[in-house]
Amino acid sequence: MRNVDKHDVPAVTVPRLALYLRKLRELRSRGVDRVSSKDLAEMIGLNAAQIRKDFSYFGEFGTRGVGYEVARLVDEITHCLGLDHSWNVIIVGAGLMGTALARYRGFAEQGFRLVGMFDSSATVIGASYGAGRVRGIAELEGFCREEKVDIAMVTVPAGEAEATIGRLAAAGVHAVLNFAPVKVQAPDGVLVRQVDLSSELMSLTFYLDRELD
């Protein structure tokens, strides 16, 4: 396996790698040994030249007229995305969004180990939604340090997001997926990714409404 320098991989390429990996794993499960960039492009709706450029970060191992070895691509991309070992994940916020995420089984299949869930409401503390019992928010910092939490998914109300992410940063969590409907300032040393579902829906309605004009 080639030792890819991840600093050489552009940020815009990373989401495409995740897309490739999902499709390549599907092909592997169906017993497909090789795939061309053209065929893969047609399957996922991308440009074949772009796919070849993205794969070039892993070395020149495709063969013209033969294509790429699916199993090797899966291994290379899995390694590049850091999915060849498990990551400890928590959810902060046990509302509708948080509990839906806790029930999603796909995280474990990708190497994300859901180790805890937290909330401030006495009505949900002690309940179980797929990550063991919901813990009180007062236990957050101690738990993160003890369990060496890598990633937190934050689904708290907008007004609580900034303070919650600050607490996570202080407890040694270095990556946050923020579902709260507000953009927060990322603390030093913490990577924050914003998931704004309402904005995505508004983008869809723009295109839908455009077709009706």
State the CATH number of the domain containing residue 158. 3.40.50.720
Residue 208 lies in a domain: no
- Domain shared by 94 and 195, yes or no: yes
Residue 38 lies in a domain: yes
Distance CA 113, CA 86 (A): 6
- Domain shared by 117 and 189, yes or no: yes
Query: What's the domain count of the chain?
Result: 2
- Domain shared by 131 and 187, yes or no: yes
- Domain shared by 116 and 194, yes or no: yes
- Domain shared by 136 and 53, yes or no: no
Residue at 4: amino acid letter: V
Residues 6 or more apart whose CB falls under 8 angstroms from that of 143 comprise 90, 116, 118, 135, 149
Residues 127-144: pLDDT tens digits? 988 777 999 999 999 999
Query: What residues make up the domain containing 43?
Result: 6-80
CATH number of the domain bearing residue 62: 1.10.10.10
Domain end call among 80, 96, 129 = 80
117: its two tokens? 């869930």
Residue 207 lies in a domain: no
Query: What is the mean pLDDT of the segment spanning 26-43?
Result: 92
- Domain shared by 104 and 152, yes or no: yes
Residues 50-92: pLDDT tens digits? 998 888 877 665 556 678 889 988 988 888 888 888 899 999 9
Q: Do 111 and 122 meet the contact criterion of CB atoms below 8 Å apart?
A: no
**pLDDT for 65:** 60
**pLDDT for 2:** 52
Whether pTM exceeds 0.85? no
Residues 163-199: pLDDT tens digits? 999 999 999 999 999 998 888 988 899 999 998 888 8
Domain end call among 59, 80, 101 = 80
**pLDDT for 111:** 83
- Domain shared by 36 and 109, yes or no: no
Displacement of CA 121 from its chain's centroid (Å):
27
**Do the strands 135-136 and 112-119 form a parallel or antiparallel pair, or are they unpaired?**
parallel
Percent pLDDT > 90 in the chain is 53
- Domain shared by 135 and 54, yes or no: no
Residues 151-166: pLDDT tens digits? 999 999 999 999 999 9
- Domain shared by 40 and 104, yes or no: no
Question: What is the helix (H) or strand (E) element at residue 159, kind and residue range?
Answer: helix 158-170
Residue 1 lies in a domain: no
Domain end call among 54, 80, 106 = 80
Distance CA 118, CA 94 (A): 7
Residue 43 lies in a domain: yes
Residue 178 lies in a domain: yes
- Domain shared by 96 and 69, yes or no: no
Residue 145 lies in a domain: yes
